[in-house]
Amino acid sequence: MKTEITEQQIQLLREQTSTHQNDVIRRAVVKNGIYNASFNQSVVNANMPIFSIDLDTGKVANQKQSGRCWMFAALNTMRHDIKDRFHVSDEFQLSQSYTLFWDKFEKANYFYENILKTATESLDSRRVSFLLTTPQQDGGQWDMMVSIIEKYGVVPQAIYPESSSSSATKELNSTLNTLLRHDATVLRNLVANQATEKDIADMRNSMLANVYRLLSLTLGEPPVKFDFEYRDELNNFHVEHQISPQDYYKKFVGWDLGEYVSVINAPTIDKPYNATYNVEMLGNVIGGRDVKHLNVDVNKMKNLAIEQLKDGQSVWFGVDMGPQVDRDSGLMANNIFSTDELFSVNSSMTKAQRLDYGQSLMTHAMVLTGVDLDEAGKPKKWKVENSWGEKVGKKGYFTMSDEWMSEYAYQIVVEKKYLDSKLVDIYENATPKLLAPWDPMGALA
């Protein structure tokens, strides 16, 4: 049935909105915008940035005009540990540009792999369309970061510093994606014309050489070995001569990344709790670690994060950073913008509904560095280290209400030792369900 909007209907709507109350609201919103007009100061007052567990993690980093939050969050958790063990200054950072280089190089190869796997499918198939929409991007998942570090190690930022294209990646992404789409036409034509495996492999290697050259000329040639010099907080001098990125990781970070688990909260019917999930065509390193999520209820996810924080270790986590976030006050809290009340509407949805209907998904990764617990040990609010520099929030830190975390936090990463034996067995031995490439749990932070 077609339902046309009529002139009579519009006239009725005009009459219904012609009230004194609507006039007052209209003036406020037209002048100040929706969020400023609906700002709820009482929510700010109820979430003061004071925490019963508060890790000293130092100065925040700044990803600038790039989508590397997942890298910044992962490297920040490691930086916190380096700071505690080696007493480096608050200014110390691990190079996010170094991991960006290898991530983009590996993502190009991952793209070629999937283009060849789908080469006999039509261009309008959903899988091929998914691949070609965004051949590669800045975003990623924790397990993808693990794959990069396990293969390439890490280096200090001073050894491989930021460049114009790492701090603002739009031009690099556009240039690289244009090249990858061109390469896709070549690879698909080779398959269509029944080229030999050797011819395809040779062409792929030539394409990878072009990608490497593009990245090297844009981001700089990544180091193979380097000298690392620093002074600790007591002004003692230290030096490591000709150390590789892999050996640097082993000595200065030393985490067994196989012991870290991605835990999610996805309360949708298709994803039962206490089960694991993979996502088709989600990854970066061929032969690297698969992206695998363990789905649990939200209170379990919170308790795992609390246990790791109690032991003095910060927590990588992923959220939808769009709704109910005020950058000026550095607050993530439900109803900080009371838009439904402002417009006298009801737009409320459950967390599951937001996932199922495309209203929400993970868009940003940050680090939990503190939590405020009540007398019963239940969380009231959380301290969050962001990667947007010191001018956003409270010197770069945010306060997240526990209610907001329930609604918009989707993922944490914790050491396996915090899981009970049943969950460890599920994570290690259960066969993961394979989700479609476009599933919201495949979203890249």
The answer to whether residue 30 sits within a structural domain is: no
Q: How many distinct structural domains can be found in the chain?
A: 1
Judge whether 199 lies within some domain: yes
Q: What local confidence, expressed as pLDDT, does residue 396 receive?
A: 96
Cα 318 from chain centroid? 6
| 193 Cβ neighbours under 8 A, 6+ residues apart | none
Q: How far is CA 214 from the centre of its chain?
A: 25
Domain carrying residue 421: 53-442
205 counts as catalytic: no
386 as an active site residue: the answer is: yes
307 located within any domain? yes
Output the CA torsion 242→244→247→249 (10° steps).
120
Residue 315 lies in a domain: yes
Q: Domain for residue 5, yes or no?
A: no
Q: How far apart are CA 417 and CA 276, in angstroms?
A: 17
Q: Check residue 436 and give its pLDDT.
A: 97
184 is a domain residue: yes
Secondary structure of 142-154 in HEC code, one letter for each residue: HHHHHHHHHHHCC
Tokens encoding 159: 């050894």
pLDDT recorded at residue 91: 87
pLDDT value, residue 249: 98
**pLDDT for res 90:** 84
Give the CA-trace dihedral at 329, 335, 338, 339, to 10 degrees: 100
| CATH number of the domain to which 287 belongs | 3.90.70.10
Which residues of the chain, if any, have pLDDT below 70? none
List Cβ neighbours of 103 (8 Å cut-off, separation of 6 or more).
Answer: 71, 140, 144, 148, 284
The CA dihedral of 291, 295, 300, 304, to the nearest 10 degrees, is: -10
Looking at residue 234, its pLDDT comes to 86
pTM score, whole prediction: 0.96
4 occurs within a structural domain: no
10: in domain: no
Q: Which of 69, 177, 278, 293 is catalytic?
A: 69
Alpha-carbon distance of 240 to 169, in angstroms, equals 32
pLDDT digits (tens, 9 = 90+) for 97-126: 999 999 999 999 999 999 999 999 999 999
Element (H, E) at 279: strand 275-279
